[in-house]
């Protein structure tokens, strides 16, 4: 009896090919292709990150090239200070005080008819000083500087000359207020201060036109307060004056007496003159700004 065959003698069947409509599987993309695709999707973020890296690299390079800080020694500081003092001398306090009022000080001249030549015009009667107290050209001066003048002329710091008129007088303190017809651009008024803070020994500066020369600056100290002075003619007794020893002469009258802080505390009014020389002997008097406030009509403090 024949044994049944374990294997069929027919040829093995092979797997059927895929149907025509089934797509073939694509090959897996390479690593380079994946990187390019990632770069396309995140191009902006990559550019930003690259910028940060470049900035960081530049900062590190700059820090690496920066020289190491030098530790200053006290000897180096002292040497620098001494060099500055030798090469650049600072302005004195008196110079700074004078500069603070330089553009506010004016020369005041009074003119009268010439009695010898009545048809030829006028002659200068006298010269004095003044200080601008309001930027509209209001000027404070002495009454005796302008009294009796037919015409007044003021000259400003920039050389501008203008006619002026009297707008107020205060005979009790020999003060007058005048106003210029024409003024420079940006005319600065002086800074007014109180004489109540003054003490004997305080340094002051007088600015004016002694004998018409100027503006001239002299420096000294407050010699006394609340002084009295009678004019040589004996016609008027002035009270409550500041006594000072900064040089003043005829023509200085009406100019400001200035503290080292740049504040006008008085108006130079008179000098003590026991002789006929009419020159300064070391004692001058100034009306206080409190009295000047009464002359202006508005208390300054």
Domain architecture of the chain: domains with CATH: 105-180 (2.40.10.10), 195-296 (2.40.10.10)
Check whether 58 has a pLDDT greater than 90: no
Is the pTM higher than 0.75? The answer reads: no
pLDDT at 297: 66
Average pLDDT estimate for 221-230: 94
Residue with tokens 């651009």: 185
The one catalytic residue in 100, 129, 144, 245 is 144
Report the pLDDT value the prediction gives residue 301, as an integer from 0 to 100: 47
- Concerning whether 158 is annotated as a catalytic residue, the answer is no
Average pLDDT, the chain: 83
| 3-class DSSP assignment, residue 281 | coil
Reported in sequence order, the residue ranges of 64-121 that DSSP labels E, i.e. its strands, are: 105-113
Strands (E), 20-121: 105-113
| Rounded (10°) angle between helices 31-41 and 43-65 | 90
Those residues whose C-beta lies under 8 Å from the C-beta of residue 182, and which sit 6 or more positions away, are 137, 160, 162, 163
Q: Tell me how far apart the alpha carbons of residues 202 and 204 are, in angstroms, rounded to a whole number.
A: 6
Task: Print burial letters for 191-229: b (CB count within 10 Å at least 16), e (below 16).
Answer: ebbebeebeeeebbbbbbbbeeebbbbbbbebbebebeb
Q: Is 170 a catalytic residue?
A: no
State yes or no: pLDDT of 107 exceeds 80. yes
Instruction: In whole angstroms, give the CA distance from residue 243 to residue 272.
Output: 10
DSSP for residue 11: P
Of these residues, 153, 170, 174, 252, which one is catalytic? 174
Nearest to 283 by CA among 245, 229, 253, 252: 245
For residue 185, what are its two tokens?
A: 């651009």
* Per-residue pLDDT at 35: 66
Residue 251 has pLDDT above 80, yes or no: yes
pLDDT bracket for residue 296 (50, 70, 90): low
Can you tell me the mean pLDDT for 188-195? 93
User: Pick the residue with more confidence: 277 or 27?
Assistant: 277
pLDDT of 298 higher than 60: no
Candidate from 111-120, 132-141, 151-160, 280-289 with smallest mean pLDDT: 111-120
User: With pLDDT > 70 as the criterion, what percentage of the chain qualifies?
Assistant: 78
pLDDT higher than 50, residue 175: yes
* pLDDT number for residue 82: 77
137: left (phi over 0), alpha (psi -120 to 50) or beta: left
pLDDT at 294 over 90: no
The span from the CA of 112 to the CA of 127, in Å, is 12
- Does residue 42 carry a catalytic annotation? no
């Amino acid at each position: 009896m024949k044994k049944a065959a374990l294997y069929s003698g027919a040829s093995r069947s092979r797997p059927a090919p895929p149907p025509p409509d089934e797509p073939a599987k694509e090959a897996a993309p390479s690593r380079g292709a994946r990187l390019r695709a990632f770069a396309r999707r995140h191009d902006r973020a990559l550019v930003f990150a690259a910028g940060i890296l470049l900035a960081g690299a530049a900062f590190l390079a700059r820090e690496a090239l920066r020289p190491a800080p030098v530790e200053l020694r006290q000897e180096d500081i002292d040497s620098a200070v001494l060099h500055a003092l030798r090469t650049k001398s600072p302005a004195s306090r008196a110079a700074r005080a004078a500069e603070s009022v330089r553009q506010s000080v004016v020369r005041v001249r009074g003119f009268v008819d010439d009695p010898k030549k009545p048809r030829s015009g006028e002659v200068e009667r006298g010269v004095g000083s003044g200080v601008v107290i309001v930027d509209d050209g209001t000027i404070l001066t002495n009454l005796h500087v302008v009294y009796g003048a037919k015409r007044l002329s003021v000259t400003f710091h920039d050389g501008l000359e203008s006619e002026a008129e009297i707008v107020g007088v205060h005979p009790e303190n020999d003060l007058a207020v005048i106003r210029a017809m024409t003024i420079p651009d940006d005319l600065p008024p002086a800074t007014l201060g109180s004489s109540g803070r003054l003490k004997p020994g305080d340094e002051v500066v007088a600015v004016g036109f002694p004998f018409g020369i100027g503006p001239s600056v002299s420096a000294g100290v407050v010699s006394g307060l609340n002084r009295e002075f009678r004019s040589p003619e004996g016609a008027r007794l002035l009270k409550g004056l500041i006594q000072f020893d900064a040089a003043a002469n005829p023509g200085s009258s009406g100019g400001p007496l200035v503290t080292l802080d740049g504040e006008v505390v008085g108006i130079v009014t008179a000098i003590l003159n026991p002789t006929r020389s009419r020159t300064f002997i070391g004692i001058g008097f100034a009306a206080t700004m409190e009295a000047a406030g009464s002359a202006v009509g508005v208390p300054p403090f």
